[in-house]
Amino acid sequence: MELKGKRALITGSAKGLGKRTALLLAEAGCDVIVNYVSSRTEAEALAGELQRLGVRSHAVQADVSDPGQVERLAEEAERRLGGIDILINNAGPFIRERRLFADYAPDEIIGLVNGNLLGVMLLDRLLLPGMRQRGWGRIIHFGFGHAGESRAWPHRAVYAAAKTALVSFTKTLAVEEAMHGITVNMICPGDIRGANKEKSIGDVRGEIDPESGRRPGTGEDVARAIRFLCDPRSDFITGNLLDVTGGFDPIRNTI
């Protein structure tokens, strides 16, 4: 149990990739704050499941696109567990409908930028003092496959802009916090959809994704990468972007 005694906050973890990550970190001995916006039933059920694995876990409601709620989330998470060592910024609004930038409403633009960039930066800032004091921390940001190339992504202009800005922030924060024993990396998932976000690799063995020609990606693929980056022995890896895409390019294949 390589993460026994460590304490994690995973935003947007009641379902999907966040849920799968919470389960894998708990199996490694990590205490976990499950964050949700409206999925209270699922969040509380997951917290109970994690507790049965022998770790501490609590469900905390907060919307990361609201700065006031971000502050409350940080305070509540640290109060419940006595500090946060691992921050997984999984939550981030996404509009799947393909739409030209000119067709976005102002409040949609603000919500996407706040949820995918500003809220992440504010939460990092709030939890950094405790990590610095303890001389250890792991921060994981979420991007998308090939985010580091900052290529055009038609019909995803706002989301892509926020995430590619987060690429630069990830690299900068990694440099600034290295002296404090804190690593900062970005996970860039491919197009993992629907129920597959919570599936294991074994669940999809033998299946073929018609678009990529390979097996579908799963939540376990992403969660395994995160657990590796959170391992205390992974302290030489920081400021990096890790694509978890199966080699499939989600931008080039959706234009």
pTM of the model: 0.94
Residue 230 pLDDT greater than 70, yes or no: yes
Residues 99-116: tens digit of each pLDDT: 999 999 999 999 999 999
Tokens 């930028």 map to which residue?
113
Q: Phi and psi of 62, rounded to 5°?
A: -175, 145
Whole-number pLDDT of residue 200 = 87
List alpha helices for the chain, DSSP H: 16-27, 40-51, 67-81, 106-113, 119-134, 157-177, 219-230
Q: What is the mean pLDDT of residues 74-78?
A: 98
Domain boundaries defined on the chain? 7-244
Whole-number pLDDT of residue 250 = 61
Q: What is the mean pLDDT of residues 40-50?
A: 98
- Rounded CA separation 109/113 (Å): 6
- Give the single-character DSSP code of 235: T
What is the torsional sign of CA 105, 108, 109, 110?
A: positive
- The residue that leads in pLDDT, 12 or 204, is 12
Helices (H) then strands (E): counts for the chain? 7, 7
Q: What is the mean pLDDT of residues 56-68?
A: 97
Residue 140 pLDDT greater than 50, yes or no: yes
Residues 176-227: tens digit of each pLDDT: 999 999 999 999 998 888 899 988 888 888 888 777 767 888 999 999 999 9
Residue 255 pLDDT greater than 50, yes or no: no
CATH architecture for segment(s) 7-244 = 3-Layer(aba) Sandwich (3.40)
